[in-house]
Amino acid sequence: MSTLVIVESPTKARTIRNFLPSTYRVEASMGHVRDLPSSAEEIPEAVKGEKWAQLGVNVEADFEPLYVIPKDKKKIVKELKDALKDATELILATDEDREGESISWHLLQILKPKVPIKRMVFHEITREAIRDALTHCRDIDNRVVQAQETRRILDRLVGYTLSPLLWKKIAWGLSAGRVQSVAVRLLVRRERERRAFRQGSYWDLKALLEKGKISFDAKLVTVGNVKVANGSDFDENTGQIIAGRRVLLLNEEQARALLSRIQNKPWTVGNIEERPVTRKPSPPFTTSTLQQEANRKLRLGARETMRIAQSLYERGFITYMRTDSVHLSEQAIAAARSCVQELYGSEYLSPQPRKYTTKSKGAQEAHEAIRPAGSTFRTPQQTGLDGIDFRLYDLIWKRTVASQMADSRQTHVTVQTQVEDAGFRSSGKRIDFPGFLRAYVEGSDDPNAALEDQEVILPALKVGDKPNCKDLEAVGHETQPPARYTEASLVKMLESEGVGRPSTYASIIGTIVDRGYAKLIANALIPTFTAFAVTTLLETHFPDLVDTGFTSRMEQTLDEIATGEAKWLPYLQKFYTGETGLATQVKEQESQIDAKVARTVVLENITAKVCIGKFGAYLESESEEGLVKASIPQDLTPADLDPEQVEFLLKQKTEGPEKLGLHPETGEPIYVLIGSYGPYVQLGEVSETNKKPKRASLPKGTDKDSVTLDMAVSLLTLPRLLGTHPETGAKVQANLGMYGPYVVHDQGKVGKDYRSIKPPDDVLTITLDRALEMLAQPKAARGSSKTATPLKELGAHPESGELINVYDGRYGPYVKHGDINASLAKDESVENFTLQKALDLLAAKEAAGGGKSSSKSKKSTKTAAAKSETATKKTTTAKKTTAAKSETAAKKTTAKKTETAAKKTTAKKTATATTAKKTTKSS
């Protein structure tokens, strides 16, 4: 007797296999095994002539979907059918959400099993969970399948009906979507707000006061009992004070006059207010809150977060990662409280177990929040994970454990001080008991927001005290436009508006970027001109489809179909057919949409037309010589396009590029131009004999008007050959690339080693010695905003010979050796930190289980030290003292190899050095 178990992925299959008896065979379907046709070639010959075939849904026959098995799934289906022949039972163990239910249903339709069938669901992949799920199998939930099928059909109707209209009226390859188009509209609306924004300016005073040798800040808030204006008092559309606000707006002259008047006058404490504040921990993660927090703290996109979380789930580290629920099982609550008790002590436990409930009606994707898997939680250090897997698990672990911790108790202190008629305010925060903040601090979308666990200590003050004023300055401010959406804030907005399902947000944001509706720059989603054109067309002709309220109600109906409260067929008929249905609307509106108008983006203060063309956005303007067209640089956004830029782009097209001067050596003219990828300098003119003149992009942040002839000449020398690498003989260059300036150690076929050039280093002046120093440093971790430059170099490890350095980390300075990081004590000075202290700290961390496979790390570093004189020499650039010690150790075992290598060809020297470098890297 054998049982066939089908799951979605090979990783999930491998994990589950470990928990089942040998009579169970576990296979993967690789996701969906059939779907609506994605191209014309997938449509069966029997229905190719039908007018609904391209749609993939027979709208004339009760919206019957046309399901096909894609080419890449036919082999998998055959393998599953073959496996079923030998089985006496079939268990469908796909994910417990709607998508998983749908996959199981499709498998059932294709395989047509003649053996008993069971549907097994679980929210974590542990031995206990799998064994328990085996004893609680059920049938496929047809209502959930129907809801998912309705969702799929609805999305196809919207996408395949509107997208062809966009191809005809705007540009080929564009797409519309039920949730995607609403999300794009949110981005466009925010960009319109930024464009309409008018900046306001105001001044105030900032003082540094002192009492009892403790300094604290104070900010001007009133003059003559009238509130001093700040950023919140301005109208974003006018840049002026909001009508009706009774505030005092200070300009620079007035602020400095006030400063002079009160400069040496006595300060008096007028009022002190202490307000106790209790903060509760956040609930454990749902899909959307995990995406938001991973974006804020780890700088991960939604897609990347879900990919990593999927992997963690399938390997048994966390529970199911597609869920709207914040609920924790009794088992999970007990496990979290046990962690708190063991790691922090009983005083950090919440008095009673915290039970979280989900307020959203549609929260039914899964039964529990995202948490570490199992009845006991492995600490992040116990998992054996590393890199970004470790960091995401660490985030989930901390959030779950913190959810069962005691409240944080703080006291907020406000001190009012008076100097003549000027009132100042100082704000302090005292953490009386950290509670859950010991484990976890939630991130914020506001970069200026203070962290919850950050104390601001004020001196002991009482009314009537007269603090000393150590410094007083006038400070100018300018109001800022509304912040662009990040992936985190867009996910938050979509969820709050009830648009779409959190489990789909990652793919939606990915599609928006992939289809050219937005660019992801510095973690901000910036809509393109194409997004403006598409949104304007949909707002004008199909307003309901991009209305958040309409889309939210649609989502509620789909949820009601899943619970049996609504019928799917009448809903689809009303939405698509009939007098007000989508199909009718598209037919009526198509003739009314002028393609030229649809391709034109209207922007205030821009007299030229902005049009969408085959190769992107361009300007169109009438001149005396006729119609002039000029491409808009791809990195120029709608909010940043101003009349001056428009004038320059058009002038460049009609009068030719701006000439800086002549090259001092060749005599050729040097021009400054703006192209599709931004401003650049060009040597000479384009001609029949010079079709591709030498060009160089301007460094990021460099304005075209600030480019001098000398700078242009220097840029045209890029890439600069700095010299040859002393170990490999390969060239070292400095250049400008897509992501900014860099140095590269180019070893040809062996590979290239890059390092980014950060200020104060300059691509035009950097030396070979500095480049070698940078190349000797380890690369910064991917996605890290910190550089790999150490705060302090301590020396070589006595066993491995590797440098031990102190680095600046997210939570303060830390010492690093191999895979082991150890934080310095809060009162430890970096300047006075020694190599011996570092060795003691690292040894203690390793003994406590810190770092990944520390014994393996030791072994590999010893091997590297023994094998690689070249690797030792590399450290010479970083520190001569360290190099002397390391070189001595390395020479003992490598003298013969080095002597032999010296007699060989230069090519072999390079290969040897490369091998040594790889060995060092592996350590």
Asked if residues 163 and 587 have their Cβ atoms less than 8 Å apart, the reply is no
- The pLDDT assigned to 372 comes to 97
- The pLDDT assigned to 894 comes to 40
- The pLDDT assigned to 230 comes to 95
Rounded Cα distance between 74 and 309, Å, is 28
Nearest partner of 284 among 348, 344, 340, 332, judged by Cα: 332
Query: Residue 147, Cα to own-chain centre: how many angstroms?
Result: 31
User: For residue range 648-704, what is the model confidence (pLDDT) as tens digits?
Assistant: 888 887 777 777 888 888 888 888 887 766 788 888 877 777 888 888 888 877 777
- The pLDDT assigned to 374 comes to 93
Measured CA distances, 381 to 131, 335, 812, 820, 922 (Å): 27, 17, 19, 11, 21
- The pLDDT assigned to 696 comes to 85
Structure tokens belonging to residue 199 = 């900046």
Largest CA distance in the chain: 95
Coil/strand/helix, residue 822: strand
CA angle 114, 120, 122 (to 5 degrees): 165
User: For residue range 69-120, what is the model confidence (pLDDT) as tens digits?
Assistant: 999 899 999 999 999 999 999 999 999 888 999 999 999 999 999 999 999 9
Rounded Cα distance between 534 and 599, Å, is 8
Query: 3-state DSSP helix/strand/coil percent for the chain, to nearest 5?
Result: 40, 20, 40
Rounded Cα distance between 137 and 133, Å, is 6
- The pLDDT assigned to 695 comes to 85
Identity of the residue numbered 40:
A
- The pLDDT assigned to 665 comes to 84
- The pLDDT assigned to 707 comes to 81
pTM assigned to the model: 0.74
Nearest partner of 728 among 868, 531, 917, judged by Cα: 917
- Which residues of the chain have a pLDDT value below 50? 364-366, 447, 781-787, 850-923
Active site residues: 320
- The pLDDT assigned to 885 comes to 39
Rounded Cα distance between 823 and 836, Å, is 15
